[in-house]
């Protein structure tokens, strides 16, 4: 293996596949199903459903201390891979085994009950993130302090700008160290001053977690955080190794010709 | 996560959404009771005074069926769109979607229990009947709660795939209101047509509850209760199957 070989494996991914029947995607509602069953009854019942593989055989070992970056074009399966590593999705084939606690964040632009204030949302989110923690006051108040939101903290969360939302959420999710941390394109909203302030906190946090999995389209961010990289392409690992080599491999992929027409969602998903 | 932690999450989320909706005002709480009171008022007027349904203890009879029915329809109505309306939250964090749905169900269940203790129980006490029956309430709501929750899980999951389910379900529930013995007793239905209402699963979760307030023989109650438990286990298994099967695709469609 690569630079991290020899370390203790804390998460082991063995040949996982995630797929679904493409047929569902032509039906937006029960009415569509009804209409197509009535107008083409034979086809509706007999037509072979086409399988679409979002993840098509990925094997991966996450070792102690690994800061894994994931690069890939839109629709290459990055988010789906992260969701399965986080345990939100269960691969139909293959296995993922870990004994560690996994925390995963895919977006920072959302509150639990947006009608409530930022502070109330912070407490709720903390409860959802840290179910085992008895007393949340210390960590939530510290995160609020760090966010520098001032009196904005007591106005409804749905009046926050995207940047303000991530100012509140980023310190909150990094308030307790986690074993494995998954961050999927979460750094883009906050302003440059906060990003710089947050970078220091992030370094400490990453240092105290056993492993970090980091998805970004910004190679600079990946260079800052990661010591290992995979390039995902068409649901498979196209490259695994060092950050710089991986970036060169990534640039060789030409997304315009084949990737986008393969995705049933269109670009950007 | 253990059961206690799930419970903490569900209850705190429920509390927060109740708070967001009513901001802890007394009027907000009255609003919850207003719906069953108005429905009860109108239906008892129409069926007892206009149509002159001749059923002993009609007010108790009607309330005993109507309150569970309102619980069923509001839970399904408010629960079905939950995954879609919280899609941003569910896609952003590793949060078990069931926590969000269960909190919505719990919210409706609390409203249901409030209407039972503030509307139905006083009327029951005024009619001078045995207090012992009230002890059966926890037993009788079990099939009602499990079946309603399971159906809501199934519909909320399918709603992610077929967005018009909520609309279709509202339509179907309107029809089912007349095919469920809520405002008329099952015995009114002629024998050769009775299968029409006997295939309706809601019958078996409403009847055990209603029986309590009509001072039945306990053996009759246990008969309905047994059937109710059977129906609820059936729906529970279906809901687990649907959720497990759809769980992956769920995130693509949210």
Interval A139-195: pLDDT, tens: 999 999 999 999 999 999 989 988 888 889 888 888 888 889 898 887 766 778 888
Give the per-residue pLDDT at B185. 92
Q: Is B162 on the interface with A (CB under 8 A)?
A: yes
For B155, the closest chain A residue by CA position comes to A30
Residue A268: pLDDT band with limits 50, 70, 90: very low
For B249, the closest chain A residue by CA position comes to A20
- Which is it for strands A211-215 and A67-72: parallel, antiparallel or unpaired? parallel
Q: Which of A24, A36, A44, A31 is nearest to B165 (CA)?
A: A31
Angle, CA of A84, A93 and B254, to the nearest 5°: 40
Q: Which of A209, A183, A187 is nearest to A199 (CA)?
A: A187
Give B 89-148 residues with CB within 8 A of chain A: 89, 91-95, 99
For A83, the closest chain B residue by CA position comes to B94
Q: Is B249 on the interface with A (CB under 8 A)?
A: yes
Q: Is A155 on the interface with B (CB under 8 A)?
A: no
Give the per-residue pLDDT at A33. 81
Rounded CA gap, A8 and A63, in Å? 5
Tokens of A115: 């009608």
* pLDDT tens by residue, A111-139: 888 888 999 999 999 988 888 888 889 99
**Average pLDDT of B155-181?**
93
**Which residues of A fall within a CB distance of 8 Å from B92?**
105-110
Are B22 and B29 in contact by the 8 Å Cβ rule? The answer is: yes
**Average pLDDT of B217-237?**
94
Give the per-residue pLDDT at B214. 86
Tokens of A165: 């939302």
**Which residues of B fall within a CB distance of 8 Å from A92?**
248
DSSP designation for A1: -
Are A157 and A111 in contact by the 8 Å Cβ rule? The answer is: yes
CA distances from A133 to A126, A143, A176, B45 (A): 9, 15, 10, 53
Give the per-residue pLDDT at A81. 95
* pLDDT tens by residue, A1-28: 444 445 789 999 999 999 887 765 567 7
Tell me the whole-structure pTM to 2 decimals. 0.89
Rounded CA gap, B156 and B233, in Å? 19
Residue B191: pLDDT band with limits 50, 70, 90: very high
Does position B127 have pLDDT exceeding 90, yes or no?
A: no
Does position A258 have pLDDT exceeding 60, yes or no?
A: no
* pLDDT tens by residue, A52-65: 899 999 999 999 98
Q: Is A160 on the interface with B (CB under 8 A)?
A: no
Q: Distance between the two ends of chain A, CA-based, in angstroms?
A: 31
**Average pLDDT of A240-266?**
71
Q: Which of A101, A126, A121, A102 is nearest to A111 (CA)?
A: A121
The ipTM of this complex is 0.83
* pLDDT tens by residue, B32-73: 889 899 999 999 999 999 999 888 889 999 999 999 999 999
Q: Among A185-189, B191-195, B202-206, which is the least confidently predicted range? A: A185-189
Tokens of A246: 């991986």
Question: Residue A89 is nearest to which of B20, B88, B251, comparing CB atoms?
Answer: B251
* pLDDT tens by residue, B72-100: 999 999 999 999 999 989 998 888 999 99
Rounded CA gap, A254 and A245, in Å? 17
For A102, the closest chain B residue by CA position comes to B94
């Amino acid at each position: 293996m690569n630079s991290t070989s020899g370390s203790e494996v804390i998460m082991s991914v063995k040949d996982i596949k995630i797929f679904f029947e493409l047929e569902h995607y032509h039906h937006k509602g029960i009415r569509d199903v009804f209409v197509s069953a009535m107008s083409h009854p034979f086809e509706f019942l007999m037509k072979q459903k086409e399988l679409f593989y979002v993840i098509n055989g990925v094997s991966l070992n996450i070792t102690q201390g690994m800061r894994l970056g994931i690069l890939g074009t839109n629709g290459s399966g990055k988010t789906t891979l992260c969701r399965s590593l986080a345990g939100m999705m269960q691969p139909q084939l293959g296995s993922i085994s870990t004994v560690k606690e996994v925390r995963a964040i895919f977006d920072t632009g959302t509150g639990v009950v947006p009608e409530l204030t930022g502070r109330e949302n912070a407490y709720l989110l903390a409860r959802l993130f840290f179910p085992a923690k008895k007393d949340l006051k210390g960590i939530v108040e510290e995160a609020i302090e760090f966010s520098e939101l001032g009196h904005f903290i007591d106005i409804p969360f749905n009046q926050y700008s995207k940047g303000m939302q991530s100012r509140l959420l980023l310190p909150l999710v990094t308030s307790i160290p986690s074993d494995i941390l998954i961050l999927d394109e979460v750094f883009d909203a906050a302003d440059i001053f906060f990003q710089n302030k947050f970078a220091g906190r992030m370094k400490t946090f990453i240092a105290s977690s056993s492993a970090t999995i980091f998805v970004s389209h910004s190679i600079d961010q990946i260079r800052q955080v990661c010591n290992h990289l995979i390039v995902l392409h068409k649901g498979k690992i196209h490259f695994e190794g060092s950050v710089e080599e991986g970036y060169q491999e990534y640039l060789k992929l030409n997304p315009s010709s084949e990737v986008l027409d393969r995705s049933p969602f269109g670009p950007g998903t | 996560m253990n059961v206690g932690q799930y419970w903490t999450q569900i209850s705190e989320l429920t509390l927060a959404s109740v708070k967001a909706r009513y901001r802890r005002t007394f009027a907000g709480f009255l609003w919850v009771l207003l719906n069953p009171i108005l429905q009860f008022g109108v239906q008892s007027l129409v069926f007892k005074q206009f149509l002159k349904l001749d059923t002993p203890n009609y007010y108790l009879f009607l309330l005993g069926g109507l309150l569970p029915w309102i619980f069923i329809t509001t839970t399904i109505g408010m629960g079905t769109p939950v995954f879609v309306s919280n899609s941003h939250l569910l896609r952003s964090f590793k949060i078990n979607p069931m926590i969000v749905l269960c909190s919505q169900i719990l919210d409706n269940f609390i409203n249901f229990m409030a209407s039972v203790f503030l509307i139905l129980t006083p009327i029951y006490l005024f009619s001078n009947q045995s207090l012992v029956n009230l002890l059966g309430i926890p037993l009788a709501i079990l099939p009602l709660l499990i079946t309603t929750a399971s159906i809501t899980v199934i519909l909320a999951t399918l709603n992610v795939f077929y967005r018009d389910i909520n609309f279709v379900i509202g339509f179907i529930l309107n029809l089912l209101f007349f095919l469920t013995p809520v405002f008329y007793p099952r015995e009114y239905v002629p024998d050769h047509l009775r299968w029409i209402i006997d295939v309706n699963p809601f019958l078996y979760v409403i009847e055990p509850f209603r029986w309590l307030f009509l001072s039945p023989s306990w053996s009759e109650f246990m008969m309905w209760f047994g059937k109710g438990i059977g129906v609820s286990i059936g729906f529970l298994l279906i809901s687990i199957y649907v959720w497990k099967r759809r769980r992956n695709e769920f995130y693509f469609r949210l």
